[in-house]
Amino acid sequence: MHTTENTSNWRSFRKIYGYNKQSRIRFWFYGLLVLLAVTLFLPWTQHIRARGTVTTLRPEQRPQELNTIIPGRVLKWFVKEGDIVKAGDTILQLAEIKDDYFDPQLVNRTGEQLRSKQQSIELYKSKAGTASTQISALDNALTLKLNQLENKRKQQQVKLQTDSIELMAAVNDLNIAGKQLARQRSLYDSGLVSLTQLEQRNQAYQNALAKKISAENKMTNTRQDLLITEIEFNSARQENREKVSKAQGDQLQSLSQAATGEAEVAKLQNQYSNYSIRNGLYFITAPQGGQITKARKAGIGEIVKEGDMIVEVVPDRFQYAVELFVRPVDLPLVSTGQQVRFQFDGFPAIVFSGWPRSSYGTFAGKVTAVENSVSANGKFRVLVTENPLQKPWPPQLRMGTGAQAIALLKDVPVWYELWRNINGFPPDYYQAGQKTTEKK
């Protein structure tokens, strides 16, 4: 007993065995219950998580392949991988591999052919114009010829009238001479006149008969000349038609050759333009400024086909965006304008999922586009851009950098979120404009 009293006075003994010491476990227990109860009523932000990569919203700002337009042989490289180029800088020089384009003076010779064909077209058009002048001259000559024949016909008509009058006079003289010869023959038969007088009357009758026959022949010749004049009228017209038709044929032939030449000129112009453009395609230039990556062709003399990728150009200036892939079950919870928080790979961050405002090192964004078609990985693609009203994204980001996204939904109590997860219910449906409306 004496030994026990002495031991209890030792400090080490009192601290180890805790005699006469009051326990505080009850206070800690009640304190933890109160803290847990308060925590259950704290606000909790519902969210969904998705994994994505840094990209850009505009297609022309994304890494683009630089392809060849024509086949060729690699002649010279002007850049190497990792070089920074500006728009228009030469990347590669190609040499021709098709025998149709080996001639170094192909463009000049095609231009000479084009100019020669254009000159031939002008000559054909001039020939067609000459044919038109010739047709006009033939028409004028026909008019003169017809006027000449018309005058000749009028002269012959007057002469025919004169010959007709002379024939009538000759007929009258013949009738008179015949009557005189008959009377003279009667007198001779009666013995009143001599044979000489009868012969004189017979001679006068023969002369009148000869004059009548001569007048008839003359009148017949005049009619024949008038008929010939009419034939000359038709012959002149027919000859004019033949000459005009021949001239028109030559004119149409010249116009046809000119039209054919114009078609050949158009074809040569097309070839000339193609050859000129092809000459400019031997040098492949950068479409925009950026960094050269992924050189697929190497060395000198390697053959490339049309459409082959040469290098990839990563633009040096682009508007950041994050490409997310959301599960189909979470797609109804994502809408345009919705707030998203990001944790980029390589940038340290402390994340509190339910309290995004308490997180450190995260960056804000908002949903810009939600695709309606599913991607090859079975998820839906969502594009998120930088929120200009909050902290800007780091300029050190590069295309393809990984990003862990937290799409923010409704603010609910912690107990509700625990109850939802225990029962396996999905997060509440949320539209980006509802929160602002409720606040207003």
pLDDT at res. 41: 72
- pTM for the full model? 0.56
pLDDT at res. 438: 42
pLDDT at res. 354: 52
Spacing of C-alpha 436 from chain mean position: 48
Contacts of 344-349 spanning 24+ positions with Cβ under 8 A: 344/54, 344/393, 344/394, 344/397, 344/401, 344/402, 344/403, 345/401, 345/402, 345/403, 345/404, 346/396, 346/401, 347/394
Convert 10-38 to b/e letters by CB count within 10 Å (16 or more is b): eeeeeeeeeeeeeeeeeeeeeeeeeeeee
Q: Which fold has domain 106-278?
A: Helix Hairpins (1.10.287)
At 10, list the tokens: 């030792």
- CATH class label, 44-61+318-439: mainly beta
pLDDT at res. 436: 40
CB 182 within 8 A of CB 201: no
pLDDT at res. 266: 92
Distance from the first to the final alpha carbon of the chain: 79
Second-level CATH architecture of 64-96+282-314:
Beta Barrel (2.40)
Task: List the chain domain ranges.
Answer: 1-40, 44-61+318-439, 64-96+282-314, 106-278
Which tens digit of pLDDT belongs to each residue from 215-232? 889 888 888 888 988 888
pLDDT at res. 439: 42
Nearest CA to 75 among 273, 271, 272, 281?
281
pLDDT at res. 360: 57
pLDDT at res. 317: 78
| Stretches in the chain below the pLDDT threshold 50 | 1-4, 434-440
